[in-house]
Amino acid sequence: MRFTKMHGIGNDYVYLDCVRNPIPADPSALSKVVSDRHFGIGSDGLILICPSNKADARMRMFNADGSESEMCGNGLRCVAKFVYDHGIARKPRLAIETGRGVLTVDLEVKHDKVSRVRVNMGEPILKSVDIPTTLPGDPPVNVPLSYGTMRFAATCVSMGNPHCVIFETQPDEELLATTGGRDRVAEFGPMIETSAEFPRRTNVHFVKVHSPGEVTMRTWERGSGITLACGTGACAVCVAGVLTGRTGRKLLAHLPGGDLELEWSEADNHVYMTGPATEVFSGEFVFEG
C-alpha cells in the first residue's frame, strides 16, 4: 500500500490516493493500524482521497480509533495540496467533497507546490439538535457543565462535526494547560467528549483570549485524543468567540502546532480558514488486515 504522510500545523494523517488506487476493504481497521505511533506509521488518523462525481475529489476521514468523522479542516487543506501537487486537478481553486458537503478551497502556490490553503468552511451549524447536543440554546452559549468539583461554561458549535468550546476565565495563562498540576485537556477532554450531552461525542477546546483578535487554544479531538491542531475546532472557536462577545469576526488562533487565520464573514455567514499544508514523506506499508 502506497501512502503519503502529511500534516496541517502538526495535525498529521496518513493519506491514500484512492483516485488511482483501490479503496481499502476496511479503512476503519486500517486507520487504527497506521495511526499507531509505535507499531504503525504514526498519525492522528487516515484520510482517503477518492473520486467524486460532484467535485475535484472526495475526502473520507477516519480517526485513530477507527471511527469515521464528517470533517477535518487541517486534513482538508492537505487533501487540496495533494490533489494539486500530485496532478489530480491542477487548478488554483478546487472543490472537495466532504461529509458536510462540497467545500471550496483557494490555493497559494509557490515553486509549483501548494504552500497555504484558504478554505470556505461554510456556515456554522448552531441549532442544538443539529450540532448535536442536548444542552439548552440554539446554540448553547456559556452553558454550565460540571465534572466533579470542576465547573465549565460550554459554548457549542458544529462545523460539520461537533465542538464544545470552553473559554478560560482566569487571568493565569497556565490554566489553559493545568489546574493544580493536572493537565485539564487530558483529564477533562475525554469526559466531555463522551458525556451524555453529546450523542455523537464531541471535540473539546480550551481557549485563552488574549485580545478580540487573538487566542491560544488546546484540543481534545474526538476519536484521537490530544492533537497539535484542529482546523474545524479553530473555526468553532472563532464562532464561539463572537457568540460570547469575547472576540471579533477575524481571529488569529495559536495552536500547539502553529497558527491559523479565521474569519466568520458577515457578508455570507461563512467561516474561512487559512493555514499551511505540508507533505512529510511517502512510502509503502504492508497491511495484513
pLDDT, tens digit, for every residue of 196-210?
A: 999 999 999 999 999
CA distance 82 to 196: 38
- Closest-CA residue to 19 (of 74, 60, 69, 63): 60
In this model, does residue 34 exceed pLDDT 80? yes
Average pLDDT estimate for 32-36? 97
Q: Which of 18, 78, 156, 230 is catalytic?
A: 230
Distances (CA, A) of 76 to 41, 215, 289: 20, 22, 27
User: Which pLDDT value is given to residue 170?
Assistant: 67
Confidence of residue 153 (pLDDT cuts 50, 70, 90): very high
Sign of CA dihedral 49, 69, 247, 12: negative
Q: Which domains does the chain have, with CATH numbers?
A: 2-121+276-284 (3.10.310.10), 128-269 (3.10.310.10)
User: Which pLDDT value is given to residue 172?
Assistant: 52
User: Which pLDDT value is given to residue 173?
Assistant: 46
Coil/strand/helix, residue 123: coil
pLDDT in tens, 214-239: 999 999 999 999 999 999 999 999 99
Question: Does the annotation mark 235 as catalytic?
Answer: no
Question: Does the annotation mark 78 as catalytic?
Answer: no
pLDDT in tens, 10-30: 999 999 999 999 999 999 999
φ, ψ at 245 (rounded to 5°): 75, 15
**What average pLDDT is seen over the chain?**
94
Q: Which of 72, 78, 164, 238 is catalytic?
A: 72
pLDDT in tens, 64-81: 999 999 999 999 999 999
Percent of the residues in the chain that have a pLDDT greater than 70, as a whole number? 95
| Share of the chain residues as helix, strand and coil, in percent rounded to the nearest 5 | 20, 45, 40
Average pLDDT estimate for 256-269? 97
In this model, does residue 7 exceed pLDDT 50? yes
Confidence of residue 178 (pLDDT cuts 50, 70, 90): low
